[in-house]
Structure formats: C-alpha cells, structure tokens
Structure 1
Amino acid sequence: MIKIILFLTLILIFNINDIESLYVKGPFLIDKDKIILLRGISRPSLEWYAFGENLSLNDYKLMKGWGANVVRLSLNQDFWLEKAKLYNKEYKETVAKQVKMIRSLGMYCILDLHWSDDGDINTEQAGQKRMADENSIEFWKQVAPIYKNDTGVLFELYNEPLLLPWRVWKEGGVYNGKKYIGMQQLYDAVRNQSAENIVIINGIRWGFDLYGAKDLVFPGYNIMFGTHPYKDPTRVKKYWDQTFGDLSDKYPIIATEFGEFTCDTNYTKEFLDYADMKEIHWSAWGWYKKDCAFPSVIAEWDGTPSAVGELVKESLTRTIKEININFLDIEDKDKDNEKEKEKEEEEEGKEAKEKEKENEKDTDHHRHHNTSKENVTPLKSAEDEERDFIDDFETIDEEKDDDMSVGSSEIGAIVSAAIDVENNKT
C-alpha cells in the first residue's frame, strides 16, 4: 500500500456561517474537507440558573473576538425534563436562543449535560453526581432530535464521571448500591433519535482519566473523548500521556474544561503548549466573572481577561495556522490502524494457543507422574479486575447520601479539590 504523505496546515476555522457537516475521521475533525481544531470557552450558569446569567449576543461576540470557534454550554437535566420538580418551562427556549446566537456567529456549540439528579426526579438538589442516571437517558432522547439537523452542535454526554469501574462507566450497572447509566447507553439514546452529531465521552475521576478507555470498544461513530485536566498532584504533566494524551493518535481528544485554582498561570500555559503539540481540542473554563479559584477567564463582563484569561486569549489568537504538520493521508492512516489492530489480534491469538498447548503438556505431565497439582494461575473475572482497579485508587466506605468517605489520602485530595471547584462554580 502506497502511503501518501500530505503536508498540510492545521487551521482554525473562525467564520463558519455555512457549515455543511462536522464529523470524525480517525483522530481528526473534518468540516467541508478541512481539518478543524476546536478551541474556545466554556460558558457556565445554565446548570444552576434556568435563565442563565449575563447571557447575550454580545457575550458570544466577545468570545469570538478572542478567537474562539466553539462555545460550551453547561446544562441541567432537571430544568429540562417536564416531570422533574425543578422543571422550568422556559428553559428549552433559553437554551435554543443561546445555540442560535452562537451558531449565527459561525461558532460551534457543545451542549454539556453538567448537572443531574442521581435518579431522583423529585429532588431539589440537582448537581454534580457520580454518574448519569435513567433521567439522563430521557434528557438526551429529547435534546438529540431538536439539534440533529445541525452537526455544528456537539453533545457532551456527561460532564464529570467520578471514580467508577470502567465497565460501569461504559455499560452502566450497580456500584456501591446505586444504579448508574453508562456512556454506551447515553450514546445509544442519541443515535436512536437518528442524530449524527458528534458526541463527547469524558473519562472517570472528575472527567480527567481516559486510561481504561483504550481497552474498551465503543461500537459507534463520530465519537470524541473528553478530559478535564485541572491542576492537582495526580494530574500533572507526567500523567497526561497515559491518561489522555496517547489516545490522541487514534481519536480526537478535547479538554472541555481545564485550569488551576490560584492566580498562577504556569500549569495552564504548560497544558496549552501540550495541547498544541498533541493537537488536542479545548474549551477553557470559564467565561464567568468570579475569582481565580473558580477559575475564571474574565475579570469583567465586558470581556476584560483575567491573568489566566490573558493566556487563553493569546493561545486562541496565536498563529497556529503557521504550524505545518506532516501526517499520512487520512484514509491510509485509518487502514494502517486497522491493519495494526489485526496484526495485534493475530499475535495475541498465537500467544494464547501456545499457552494453551503448554498448559495441556503440564496437565498431561502431572497426571502421568501424579506428583503435584497443576500450578496454573486462574484468569481473573471481570468483577475481580474491576475491584483491583478500584483498590488501586481508593478505599471507599459506605456512602451516605452524596457524601464520600475515602481511605486514600491521594484520592481524598482529588475529591476535596474537585468539590472546591464545584462549590466555587456555584
């Protein structure tokens, strides 16, 4: 097979008033035969207030003026669903107006399921939960058909899954006595509405960790994987490759949130440089006037950037279009990936057969001499594997309501920091 080397320029598309179709091809996003790199800003408030705060066309014009080509809107399923106690009859129209304004400016829009209800539709305390619930499926069943004719609207299936076994994260199931809905079920809810929109699937540990995703097969298409690299001792640069960076060779990766909780900007700069190197998409948190601990990219509602906002703005407007990259023709790269996967599966099959033959020989030997029992290590069940994974990270005591008791000091730090983030956001 002849590999065609293309020398292309990675470009940001800012004026996209006539978007035809945005779709995933290998590790790339394609629109009108151009490679798209999503870079923009998260716009919170619709998750905690049904009408949002300071939302206006001028708001989005300011973002575009910074150089953003995507805006992420954080949503609340209980404001949306009519059967929910927190339902607001004007919420759907409020969301629709924001999407229309964003799209009219030629920017892409991400709809993020940010807050949920843990399966209790009558709650008055919707918020950040461990994982999606049955009502989350209904939310996407209703949202998807509304925006299915506009592929410039992307669906972020669930904002920040907490620590879960990978199988539960993917397929759903019961964990610590609670039933959760998995990413595959949310994906299916969207596709069952004939919606072709790109979906974003975030990892575990407050949306950061995608390490286990590489070993799980998601039947489907137009899938991006999402991460939230906030500053934390367990989320520093040395962990980025294994938790999400290496996946960018095969899938498009987007950091739909990132930042640090002080006015220091070193971590943010380090991540932005890394994102450029890995061609990772991102939307900075967040366009909301608050302090550094939020963290906020604006100091004033007029678009005056904060310290970290200056860095984000500079990154949005830098001349990425001058960075030339070499890569294989997309079709050839896909074929290479498929061929490599087939080769790996073939080698794994050969190894399995060889081990099986060796085990048979050992069995025959022991049976013949009757000297000892077979010394064969049994394969672990899926449940044991999941438990081993959880034990690597935390010792979880019995939960009471939404409180988490964590035995590991490291995970305790993660949870404390993340809870501080959510408290600062609200």
Structure 2
Amino acid sequence: MRYVALLVSLLFSLPAVAVQDVTIKGKDFYLDGKPWLPKGVNVAAFVRPKFIPSAPKWMNDESNNPGREWWGPAEFAAIKSVLGGSVIRFQISQAALDPHSSIYDRAYLTELTGAIKQARAAGFVVICSMSWGDSGGLQNMAGMPDDGTTRAWQSLAPGFVHDPGVMFELFNEPKLDWNKAGSHQIWAQDMQALIDEVRSLGATNILLLDGLGYAQWTNDLFPLVHDRLPNRMAMAVHPYLDPMRNEAHLDPQEYWRKHFSLSAAQVPMITTEWNATPNGGCAGPSTPELSLALMRLLASLHVSVLGWSIDTSAKLVKDHTSYQPTDYTSFQDCKDGSESGGGSLLARFPND
C-alpha cells in the first residue's frame, strides 16, 4: 500500500535532530548556508482548540476539522515525498493564546507547542502564523493586529525564540485595504509594534509580514518597517486568483505586478498560502492556465509556495490514503463539483 511505503520511507529518512538554520541574503532564502526555496504546505489541524465551550456547534464538530486525526507520520511522509515540501505552516489561534480572551486555553498552547516540536523533529522548517479569522475559534475579530496579538506572541514565542528553523508570521492576512487612505501607515505602525515586541522576547527568528488586503498586496510596504537584526525579515503574500475577477480588465501579469510582483523582485518574500480549487481561489474557466502562469512567475522571482492545505476541503491531495496530488484534469469552472486543485503544480514547483 502507498500508505505503508510512505511511512517506511519516512522512518528511514528522519534525522536524529532537526537543526535547520534558515537565513536570508539579499532577497533569497538559504538553509544551512545553501540556496533554498521554502516550499511546503499549510496545516489547519491546530487552528483552534479541540473544544471551545462558548463556540457555535459547527466549530466543535470534529468532522469540520479532521486534521488532528490525519496529523502524524503518514502525512509527514506525503508532504515530503509526494509534494516535495520541507516547510509546514501552522495556522494558530490568536484568541486561544491571548490570556485576556474569552476562549483562552492553556491546554491549547501545550498541544500546539507539542505539534510544532513534532514537525521540527520530523525534519521540517516551521512557520507559526498568528490567525484572527472565525476558524480560530472567536468570531468577528477586527482583522488587524491589536493588543491581543501581542499577548498571543508573548504566550507562544518564548518556546521557540532560539530555534533558527522556526519562522514567525506575525499576523495572518491583515484585512485593511491597500488602497484605503492611511492604510500603509496603519499597517506599518501595527507591524512595527509586533516586530519590536517579538524581538524584546529575545527572538532571533526570521519574521514574516503579510501584506494588506488579506495579504494580496505587498508593494511599497517593506521599507516602512525596520528590524534591529539585519536580514531577518521577509514579506508574505497570498496571491489567490478569485480577486482577479474584480479587476478583469487587467492582464494577469499586470494584475500581479500591481499587487505584489514589483516588491517580490526587490525584497525577500514567501507565498505562505495559495491554492485554486472549484470552491476557493477560483477565477473561472481559466483557473488552470492562470495557476500555471502564477507558479511560473513566482519561480522566476525566487518566491516559494506553501500550498493551502494538506488537511482542509481546499485540497492539495485527493485523500489521506493514496495522497495523490490534485490537478485540473476534470476542472471545468468554479463550483463544478470536481476534486480539482493545485497539488500537482505545487509538487512540480519550481519546475512547472
């Protein structure tokens, strides 16, 4: 069985100790001193505590978040051998880590810390992404960094501040529109506060800064912040295709240039989320062609990709038995009911 083969492969490939040293030179990433594209997947298994007493029923229904069941050696093996990934990005609940929050859960911190250490022991570089969305367990949050974000990092960061194989993505998908008056200054002020706070905790980790408009826009933002440590920051972009329908008059390359590729040519950057499925990130019948064009653009810019996700309905793999990557063979249009997605593109990246 494919499952057994993957598991055996993993058992023979795990290092005794995972000590990856991630660095940045210019706009490129390096791993243990060698050029590196940090490719991998998102994991949503630990996006919120397993049970939240005050949460709506759907949040506590395990069928809506099966990732905990799948988490483990077989999934690790598939990430490595099927998708070619070396990075796992954890979606993390700000609210559940904030001691002032109504859903603060000390046991969640313990579980999350254990999962991160498990991923590191399995040889993965890890990105911790602080999430504010409804999926994190508390609805109707503001969508921009606040005091709760600071407190959440104060809870999580100390356990990993000296691990060069863990990167901190300070705030997932800031909601504010890039075009809104004053948005750049607000973004810079909020991000600078987080940068300074995390550094004050003794963190030497690389810090990732999501752009505005749910991380769709990164141009012109990086120069607005500073770090006391040189070459330890990068931008994060989420170039989902569905917003392109709102600017359909633009050529795709022009659209991407307007949103992120100008900055991607100048500063270090990771695509920390991307997929295009019939039910998410879909741009219509041209989705397969646009997805391929995007992967080729990112490869040309030396911007790596983390697929969304290994364990949600936005599928990178068709199931958790064969772990066959999704593709666009049966894709026709958005909402077509097919099991289409960017898994095969991710597996081939940067050679699409």
Deviations 1:342-363 (A, max 9, x none): xxxxxxxxxxxxxxxxxxxxxx
Q: CA deviation at 1:259?
A: 2.5
Alpha-carbon separation, structure 2, partners of 1:249 and 1:158? 23
Identity of aligned residues (%): 21
Offset at residue 183 of structure 1 (A)? 0.6
Larger Rg: 1 or 2?
1
Residue number in structure 1 paired with 2:42: 42
Which residue matches 1:108?
Answer: 125
Residues 254-265 of structure 1 mapped to structure 2, 5 A cutoff: 254-262=270-278, 264-265=287-288
Q: 2:108 aligns with which of 91, 94, 97?
A: 91
CA distance in 2, matches of 1:115, 1:214: 22
Match of 1:200, SS?
strand
- Other-structure match for 1:316: 347
Q: Taking structure 2 as the reference length, what is the TM-score of the superposition?
A: 0.74
Question: What is the aligned counterpart of 1:271 among 291, 294, 297?
Answer: 294
Q: Say which SS state the counterpart of residue 220 (structure 2) adopts.
A: helix
Distance of aligned partners of 1:267 and 1:32 in 2 relative to their CA distance in 1, 3 Å threshold = same
Residue of structure 2 equivalent to 1:345: none
Residue 148 of structure 1: CA displacement?
Answer: 1.1
Which letter does structure 1 place at the counterpart of 2:318?
Answer: A
Aligned residue-pair number? 289
- Give the corresponding residue for 1:31: 31
Residues 202-221 of structure 1 correspond to what in structure 2 (within 5 A)?
202-220=210-228, 221=230
Q: Distance in 2 between matches of 1:272 and 1:319?
A: 7
Distance 2:157 2:137 in 1: 25
Secondary structure at 1:283's aligned position in 2?
A: strand
Residues 188 and 204 of structure 1: CA distance in aligned 2, closer, same or farther (over 3 Å): same
Letter in 2 for 1:193: L
CA displacement at 1:191 relative to structure 2:
0.4
Distance 1:163 1:289, change over 3 A: closer
Deviations 1:148-184 (A, max 9, x none): 121111111111111251000110xxxxxxxxxx011
Structure 1 residues 125, 39: CA separation in 2 closer, same or farther (over 3 Å shift)? Answer: same
Partner of 2:317: 298
| Structure 2: runs of 5+ lacking an equivalent | 1-12, 52-66, 178-182, 280-286, 329-339
Shift of 1:46: 2.0
For residues 14 and 24 of structure 2, what CA distance do their matches in structure 1 show? 20
Q: What is the TM-score of this pair, normalised by structure 1?
A: 0.62
- Worse overlay, 265-274 or 309-318: 309-318
The 5 Å alignment of 1:52-131 reads: 53-54=68-69, 55-66=71-82, 67-115=84-132, 125-126=138-139, 129-131=142-144
Which ranges in structure 1 are unaligned for 5 or more consecutive residues?
1-13, 118-122, 172-181, 324-426
> Aligned to 2:235, which of 225, 229, 232?
225
What is the CA distance between 1:99 and its match in structure 2?
A: 1.2
Distance 1:282 1:271, change over 3 A: same
Q: 1:391-410: per-residue Cα shift (whole Å, max 9, x none)?
A: xxxxxxxxxxxxxxxxxxxx
The answer as to whether partners of 1:289 and 1:300 remain within 8 angstroms in 2 is no
Of stretches 63-72 and 260-269 in structure 1, the one that deviates more from structure 2 is 260-269
- Distance, in Å, in 1 between the alignment partners of 2:161 and 2:233 is 15
What's the CA shift for 1:197?
0.3
Change beyond 3 A, Cα 1:318–1:228: closer
Label 1:99 to 1:262 Cα distance change in 2 as closer, same or farther (>3 A). Answer: same
Tell me the alpha carbon deviations over residues 241-271 of structure 1, each in whole angstroms, 9 at most, x when there is no partner.
2322222333211111122342753332221
The offset of 1:272, in angstroms, is 1.2
8 Å CA contact retained: 1:47, 1:115: no
Label 1:40 to 1:128 Cα distance change in 2 as closer, same or farther (>3 A): farther
The structure 1 residue matched to 2:188, chosen from 149, 154, 170, is 170
